[in-house]
Amino acid sequence: METIVDEPSWLRTGSWFGCPLVGAALGAGAWAVAAWISALPAFPYRGVFQLLTNLPQPWATLVPVGGGLVLGLLFAADWAHKRLVVTVSPTRVTLVRGDRTRRIDADLGAVYLDGKELVLRTTDGREIAREKTDLGRTELSRAFAEHGRPWYDEPPAER
């Protein structure tokens, strides 16, 4: 039996829809800002903005909206790749980030969050893992405690 701690499924799925939509909206906003700047009598690099607004329709709208959409997709992919997934079992802790998997079979003396970093220490006090995470303290503590792992709400004192 093992427990997997991951971002909620609504957030994982929503990021693939939300990020491109926000990017497309920002692209549309960028076109509106470019049109406003092009109408100003003087502005640094005004020619760049005029280039965008001088494109014929529908390209003047599609280029910034499409660019924002692509940037949103790239952001969602980067977010998915940097996400930490923690799997806890009675004998092993597995940390997965992107294409990197780290299996920890050592006896753990302490597991805790140090700010936004998940820290695993052995029974002799050695730090064997420190991973940045946005996973919830409650979910992590529940998963480790459920499998008899020593969870601390605060970093324990150094030995």
Domain presence at residue 17: yes
Do 13 and 75 fall within a single domain? yes
Phi and psi for 80 in degrees, rounded to 5? -65, -35
Extract long-range pairs of 30-33: CB within 8 Å, 24+ residues apart.
Answer: 30/64, 30/68, 31/60, 31/61, 31/64, 31/65
Would you tell me how many other CB atoms lie within 10 Å of the CB of residue 70?
A: 14
Where b means 16+ CB within 10 Å and e means fewer, 32-67 reads eebeebbeeeeeeeeeebeebeeeeeeebeeebbeb
Query: What pTM did the predictor assign?
Result: 0.78
How many domains does the chain contain in total? 2
Residues 69, 36 share a domain: yes
Residue 110 pairs in a beta bridge with 121
**Which of 51, 82, 113 represents a domain boundary (last residue)?**
82
Per DSSP, the three-state class of 126 is: coil
Residue reference for tokens 């969050």: 113
Per-residue confidence (pLDDT) for residue 70, from 0 to 100: 97
Q: Which of 66, 82, 98 is the last residue of a domain?
A: 82
> Are 91 and 142 in a shared domain?
yes
Q: Are residues 29 and 94 in the same domain?
A: no
90 and 76, same structural domain?
Answer: no
pLDDT tens track of the chain, all 159 residues? 899 999 999 999 999 999 999 999 999 898 888 888 888 888 888 888 888 888 888 888 898 899 999 999 999 999 999 999 999 999 999 999 999 999 999 999 999 999 999 999 999 889 999 999 999 999 999 999 999 999 999 888 765
- pLDDT for position 51: 83
Question: Bridge-partner residues for 96, per DSSP?
Answer: 85, 101
Q: Same domain, yes or no, for 76 and 143?
A: no
Measure the CA angle with vertex 64, ends 58 and 69; round to 5°. 110
Shared-domain flag, residues 63 and 105 = no
Q: What domain range includes position 78?
A: 7-82
Question: Does 11 share its domain with 78?
Answer: yes
Supply the pLDDT for residue 159.
58
Residue 157 within a domain: no
Secondary-structure percent of the chain, ordered helix, strand, coil, rounded to 5: 45, 25, 30
2 occurs within a structural domain: no
